[in-house]
């Protein structure tokens, strides 16, 4: 009877342990990045950020960085060399479009660590094949090359299918004069 009472009292802890075991078994079968429902689910767990790093398969080029502002899953972010944090990237100026670019893989609050993709496949939906550039809208990408004065032109990704983007930011960029 004591064992049953212990299980009932520690139900949340046991559930988390069972989920961890289940997700570890999934890790070997499918790329965690591809399982968008799983990424969303884990973000609601109290241990979400540390679990995220556990479930990303090695070779997917994921790293933990600190967010400088509130970020959503899929936001394209630049590294701010002054404070060492990541903010939403934009083609508006070279300040926000010329440094290291990474893609947020989860919802992250300002000042907290989160998981970012530095290069590799990113799975989404309703994508259109072609080249993606930094957009004027912070955090977004566009198929249309920016044309405004001082706008940064930088290739960030290639869309391979309606669900698959290959994120590999070019280190080369130029601006319109």
* C-alpha to C-alpha distance for 116 and 6, rounded to whole angstroms: 38
What secondary structure does DSSP assign to 146-160, as a single string? Answer: P-STT-EE-EEEEE-
| Closest C-alpha among 68, 73, 139 to residue 110 | 68
Domain boundaries, the chain: 1-59
pLDDT tens for 139-150 read 999 999 998 888
Residue 4 contacts by C-beta under 8 Å, 6 or more apart in sequence?
none
User: Helix, strand, or coil here: 163?
Assistant: coil
pLDDT tens for 52-78 read 555 554 345 888 899 999 999 999 999
Please identify which residue in the block is written with the tokens 């032109």. 153
pTM score, two decimals?
0.69
């Amino acid at each position: 009877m004591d064992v049953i009472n212990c299980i009932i009292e520690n139900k949340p802890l046991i559930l988390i342990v069972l989920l961890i075991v289940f997700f570890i078994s999934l890790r070997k079968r499918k790329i965690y990045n591809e399982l968008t429902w799983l990424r969303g689910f884990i973000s609601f767990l109290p241990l979400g950020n540390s679990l995220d790093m556990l479930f990303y398969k090695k070779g997917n080029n994921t790293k933990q960085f600190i967010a400088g502002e509130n970020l959503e899953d899929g936001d394209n972010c630049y590294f701010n060399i002054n404070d060492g944090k990541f903010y939403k990237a934009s083609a508006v100026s070279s300040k926000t479009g010329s440094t290291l670019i990474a893609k947020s893989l989860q919802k992250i609050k300002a000042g907290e660590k989160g998981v970012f993709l530095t290069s590799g496949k990113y799975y989404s939906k309703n994508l259109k094949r072609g080249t993606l550039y930094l957009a004027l809208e912070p955090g977004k990408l566009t198929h249309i090359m920016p044309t405004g004065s001082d706008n940064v032109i930088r290739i960030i990704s290639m869309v391979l299918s309606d669900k698959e983007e290959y994120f590999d930011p070019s280190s080369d960029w130029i601006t319109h004069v």
